[in-house]
């Protein structure tokens, strides 16, 4: 859900002459890695991290071309009442993937080494469906792939379009500015040690305000998500 994504190791399709095309298939433990015209494909059971991120076989896959409300984010309905749009987006994604096999075509990686993927289940483009239902914005800063679905959602006043909703990238930016003012050296990511291991919380995490960093217990602050991951900590996610 981060707007500052630099596309590293981007895989582009390779042009082949007409004729036979070689298709190579390599099996991973619980997911398949498939190379097709220079693109990799990842498939398997998906676990929801947040409204636009899933995990397959231990790999975090950021749904390419969209940006969903953060889990802790609240939006407003047309009648002026608040609703938990971030949680609703994550629930909608969970409903779409269920226990079915999810297939993602890799579009490269972001600066946090997460796979950028166009993912589908039963032939349905997951990102397109989330945008169409009003649970995500078309992330036009990086892609115009889902602008048509966004227009449909706006016209239907679906989800985030039924009232006021702060775009997720602005929400993150504002939450980071507030958090870094109180964090040591502006490093606003909280590293917490729990029974589930070493977990880090971004300033927009729903549990961020309740987490206390205790250096005497080995807990620490991080300046970037990449730094936290390199140190062996993982995102809190929804699990």
Q: What is the DSSP string of the chain?
A: --S----BS---PPP--SS----EEEE-SSSEEEEETTEEEEEEEEEEEETTEEEETTEEEEETTEEPPPTT--EE-TTS-EE-HHHHHHHHHHHHHTTSEEEEEEEEE-TT-PEEEEEEETTEEHHHHHHHTTSSEE-TTT--TTHHHHHHHHHTT-GGGSS----HHHHHHHHHHHHHHHSGGG--EEEEEETTEEEEE-TTSTTGGG----GGGT-EEESSHHHHHHTT-EE----
Domain that holds residue 192: 183-235
Give the mean pLDDT of 174-180. Answer: 93
Q: Name the domain boundary from 165, 195, 213.
A: 165
| Domain shared by 41 and 153, yes or no | yes
Q: Name the domain boundary from 111, 135, 165.
A: 165
| Domain shared by 72 and 142, yes or no | yes
What integer best gives the mean pLDDT of the chain?
A: 85
| Domain shared by 127 and 222, yes or no | no
- Answer whether residue 206 shows pLDDT above 90: no
Domain count, the chain: 2
Q: What is the pLDDT of residues 92-135, one digit of tens each?
A: 999 999 999 999 999 988 776 778 999 999 999 999 999 999 99
Q: What is the pLDDT of residue 236?
A: 81
User: Rounded to two decimals, what is the model's pTM?
Assistant: 0.77
| Domain shared by 95 and 132, yes or no | yes
Residue 178 maps to a domain: no
CATH number at residue 141: 2.40.50.90
| Domain shared by 125 and 213, yes or no | no
């Amino acid at each position: 859900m981060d707007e500052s994504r630099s596309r590293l190791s981007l895989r582009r399709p390779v042009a082949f002459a007409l004729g036979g095309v070689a298709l190579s298939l390599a099996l991973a433990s619980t997911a398949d890695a498939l190379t097709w015209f220079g693109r990799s494909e990842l498939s398997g059971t998906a676990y929801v991290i947040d409204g636009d991120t899933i995990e397959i076989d231990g790999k975090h896959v950021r749904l390419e071309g969209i940006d969903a409300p953060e889990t802790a984010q609240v939006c407003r309905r047309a009648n002026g009442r608040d609703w938990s749009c971030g949680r609703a987006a994550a629930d909608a994604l969970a409903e779409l993937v269920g226990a079915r096999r999810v297939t993602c075509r890799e579009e490269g990686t972001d600066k946090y080494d997460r796979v950028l993927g166009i993912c589908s289940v039963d032939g349905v483009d997951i990102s397109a469906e989330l945008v169409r239902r009003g649970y995500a914005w078309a992330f036009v800063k990086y892609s115009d792939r889902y602008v048509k679905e966004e227009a449909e959602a706006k016209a239907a006043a679906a989800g985030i379009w039924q009232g006021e909703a702060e775009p997720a990238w602005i929400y993150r930016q504002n939450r980071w500015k507030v958090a870094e003012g109180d964090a040591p050296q502006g490093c606003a990511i909280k590293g917490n040690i729990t029974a589930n291991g070493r977990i880090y919380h971004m300033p927009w995490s729903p549990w961020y305000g309740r987490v206390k960093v205790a250096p005497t217990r080995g807990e620490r602050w991080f300046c970037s998500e990449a730094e936290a991951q390199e140190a062996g900590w993982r995102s809190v996610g929804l699990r």
